[in-house]
Amino acid sequence: MTYQELFTQISAKKTYLCVGLDTDIRKIPSHLLQEADPVFEFNKQIIDATADYCVSYKPNIAFYEAMGAKGWESLQKTLEYIPATHFTIADAKRGDIGNTSGLYARTFFDPTSSGLDFDSVTVAPYMGSDSVIPFLEYENKWVILLALTSNIGSSDFQRLQVEDSSLYEQVLKISQQWAGADRMMYVVGATQAPEFEKIRTIVPDHFLLVPGVGAQGGDLEEVSRFGMNSHCGLLVNASRSIIYAGNGIDFSQKARQEAFKIQQEMATYLDLYCK
């Protein structure tokens, strides 16, 4: 999916919500456990219930890897079920020496090899350019580079001062030599709202993937006010607050209501701040 296609979806549906498919078999409603593939059945119902109100889905790969071969199978079926109109993110946080990164890229971007055909993958910048560039060798695929994450520990390294700015700002500056806003996004946590204004001076055009609203307490209004650009430029992720909004037979209805609530709020912010 291209930058323009993503913006077209956002404008048409008045939402920049990304639903996180962090599906933990220990947390899904018990009536699904009798299904042949409970994780896929859960995801399928969540997707059916929320697709109208979001533009993106982000399975966090940890939740699938933890289940071994069966988890990879559920992941593949889930990815195939997501409508082509929705931008897909493999939240895998990979990155290694170039030779190995090439194999990670193949895992998420080459369906003839792995069966997976994601639009994008999250990548850690720590090992530098040669660890990221192999992901960019796939046409029409995106790298989403970790910049300023939502967790407390983000200050351990990401906010360390390097020359005249913090390490995460250097990540934003230097990585722009590797790809433009049409192929690269950045992860910035919703819990870091005061930083968004500064971030927008460094990367005015890029999309930011923003996890941390809902369960982590980030403020959607603040993120939107300080982070939005003229092409929206935001994909705001919520995982647990949507997919586990209910735990009974009506779990998907509850998820739909939660996604609808966020979409309604986002429609207001698009009118106010997408300029």
Ligand X SMILES: O=c1ccn([C@@H]2O[C@H](COP(=O)(O)O)[C@@H](O)[C@H]2O)c(=O)[nH]1
| End-to-end CA gap in the chain | 23
User: In this complex, which beta carbon is closest to ligand X, that of residue 45 or of residue 149?
Assistant: 149
Q: Which residue has the tokens 């971007």?
A: 109
Residue 149 in the binding site for ligand X (CB under 6 A)? yes
- Reference 19, options 260, 237, 251; nearest CA is 237
Q: Is 14 a catalytic residue?
A: no
Q: Measured between alpha carbons, how far is 150 from 20 in angstroms, rounded to an integer?
A: 15
Q: Does 211 bind ligand X (CB under 6 A)?
A: yes
The rounded distance, in Å, linking the Cα atoms of 188 and 234 is 10
For ligand X, the binding residues in 19-58 under the rule CB under 6 A are 20, 22
| Cβ-proximal residue to ligand X, closest one | 149
Nearest distance from C-beta of residue 4 to ligand X, angstroms: 26
Q: Which candidate in 14, 44, 77, 93 is catalytic?
A: 93
Question: Per-residue b/e over 243-268, b at no fewer than 16 CB within 10 Å?
Answer: bbbbeeeebbebbbbbbbebbebbee
Interface stretch with ligand X, choices 94-102, 107-115, 212-220, 259-267 (CB under 6 A): 212-220
Please identify, among the stretches 25-33, 39-47, 233-241, 252-260, the one whose residues bind ligand X according to the rule CB under 6 A.
233-241
**How is residue 195 annotated by DSSP?**
G
Burial status of residue 30 (CB atoms within 10 A of its CB: 0-12, 13-18, 19 or more) = exposed
Which residue in 95, 214, 227, 233 binds ligand X (CB under 6 A)? 214
The yes or no reply on residue 189 touching ligand X (CB under 6 A) is yes
Closer CB to ligand X, residue 1 or residue 19?
19
Q: Which is nearer to ligand X, 111 or 202 (CB)?
A: 202
Looking at the DSSP bridge assignments, the partners of residue 244 are: none
DSSP 90: E
Q: Which stretch binds ligand X (CB under 6 A): 73-81, 128-136, 200-208, 239-247?
A: 239-247
The contact set with ligand X (CB under 6 A) reads: 20, 22, 60, 91, 149-150, 187, 189, 211-212, 214-216, 237-241
